[in-house]
Chain A
Amino acid sequence: MILNSSLNSIAYSSTLPPDWPGGFWWHWLLFTVIIIVFALTLVMGFIWIERRGMGRMQARLGPNQAGPFGLLQPVADALKILLKEDIIPAKADRIVHWLAPVVAFAPALMIFAVVPFGDGAMLADLDIGILYVVAIASISAIGIFMAGWGSSNKYSMLGAMRGIASVVSYEIPVVLAIAGVVLVAGSMSLNQIVLAQDIPFILLQPLGFLLFFIGGCAEINRSPFDLMEADSELTAGFHTEYSGMKFAMFYLMEYAEAVAISAIIATLFLGGWRGPLLPPWLWFVLKVIFVFFIMVWTRTTLPRVRIDQLMALAWKFLFPLALINLIVTAIQILVWPDALPWILVPINLAIMALLILLWSKLFKLGWGRVEV
Chain B
Amino acid sequence: MKFERYGIGIAKGLRVTIRHLFRHPVTVQYPEQRLNISRRTRGNELIWDKVKCTGCATCAKSCPQGAIQIVTSTSMEENKYEVEQIEVDTGYCISCGLCVEACPFEALYMGYAYERAKYRRGEVVQANEQLLPSPQRQRSGYMYPKIADELPRQTLLIERITEEK
A/B touching: CB–CB < 8 A = yes
Which residues of A approach B to under 8 Å, CB–CB?
53, 55-61, 64, 297-298, 300-302, 305, 309, 312-313, 317, 356-357, 359-361, 363-365
Interface of A is mostly: helix
B6 touches A360 (CB 8 A): yes
Q: Do B3 and A59 touch across chains, with their CB atoms under 8 A apart?
A: no
Interface residue SS majority, chain B: loop
CA distance A312 to B1 in the complex (A): 9
Name the B residues within 8 Å of A305 (CB-CB). 1
Q: Note all chain B residues with C-beta closer than 8 A to A300.
A: 17
Contact of B13 among A301, A356, A360 (CB under 8 A): A301
What chain B residues lie within 8 Å of A302 (beta carbons)?
Answer: 10, 13
25 A-B residue pairings within 8 Å (CB atoms): A55-B25, A56-B23, A57-B18, A59-B20, A59-B25, A59-B26, A60-B25, A60-B26, A61-B29, A64-B29, A297-B18, A300-B17, A301-B10, A301-B13, A301-B16, A302-B10, A305-B1, A312-B1, A317-B3, A356-B3, A356-B6, A357-B6, A359-B3, A361-B4, A365-B1
Residues in A whose Cβ lies below 8 Å from that of B3? 317, 356, 359-360, 363
Given contacts A57-B20, A301-B16, 11 further A-B contacts (CB under 8 A): A55-B25, A58-B20, A61-B25, A312-B1, A317-B3, A356-B3, A356-B6, A357-B6, A359-B3, A360-B6, A365-B1
Contact for B23 among A59, A64, A317, A357, CB less than 8 A: A59
Other-chain residue from A60, A301, A309, A361 in contact with B27 (beta carbon distance below 8 A):
A60
Which residues of B from 41 to 91 have beta carbons under 8 Å from A?
A: none
> Which chain B positions have C-beta within 8 A of A309?
1
Given A56-B21, A59-B26; A365-B2 close (CB under 8 Å): yes
Which residue of B has the minimal Cβ distance to A55? B25
Quick one: closest B residue to A312, CB to CB?
A: B1
- Are A61 and B14 in touch, CB under 8 angstroms? no
B7 at the interface (CB under 8 A from A): yes
A53 touching B21, Cβ below 8 Å: yes
B residues adjacent to A (C-beta < 8 A)? 1-4, 6-7, 10, 13-14, 16-18, 20-21, 23, 25-27, 29
Chain A residues closer than 8 Å to B18, beta-carbon distance: 57, 297
Q: Nearest-CB distance from A252 to chain B (Å)?
A: 26
Q: Which of A301, A357, A360, A364 contacts B14 (CB 8 A)?
A: A301
> How far does the Cβ of B4 sit from chain A's closest Cβ, in whole Å?
7
CA distance A57 to B26 in the complex (A): 11
For the complex of A and B, 3 pairs with smallest distance between CB atoms:
A360-B3, A60-B27, A57-B17
| Contacting residues, chain B, for A360 (C-beta < 8 A) | 2-4, 6-7
Asked whether A61 lies within 8 Å of B27 as measured between CB atoms, the reply is: yes
Query: Provided the pairs A301-B13, A302-B10 are in contact, do residues A313 and B1 lie with their beta carbons within 8 angstroms?
Result: yes
Bound CA–CA A40/B14 (angstroms): 29
Residues of A within 8 A of B21 (CB): 53, 56-57
| Nearest B residue to A299, CB-CB | B17
Question: Which of chain B's residues has its CB closest to A360's CB?
Answer: B3
CA distance A305 to B10 in the complex (A): 13
In the assembled complex, which residues on chain B have CB atoms less than 8 Å from the CB atom of A57?
17-18, 20-21
Question: With A and B bound together, what is the CA distance between A53 and B18 in angstroms?
Answer: 10
Q: Is B17 a contact partner of A301 (Cβ separation < 8 A)?
A: yes
**Is there an interface contact between B14 and A298, defined as CB atoms closer than 8 Å?**
yes
- Chain B residues with CB below 8 A from A298, complex form: 14
A359 to B3, CA, bound (A): 8
Residues of chain B with a CB closer than 8 A to A58's CB: 20
B10's nearest neighbour on chain A, judged by CB, is A302
Q: From B10, B14, B18, name the one whose CB has the most chain A CB atoms within 10 angstroms.
A: B14
Docked complex Cα distance between A58 and B19 (Å):
10
For B20, the closest partner residue in chain A by CB is A57
Is there an interface contact between A56 and B1, defined as CB atoms closer than 8 Å? no
Contact residues in B for A301 (Cβ distance below 8 Å): 10, 13-14, 16-17
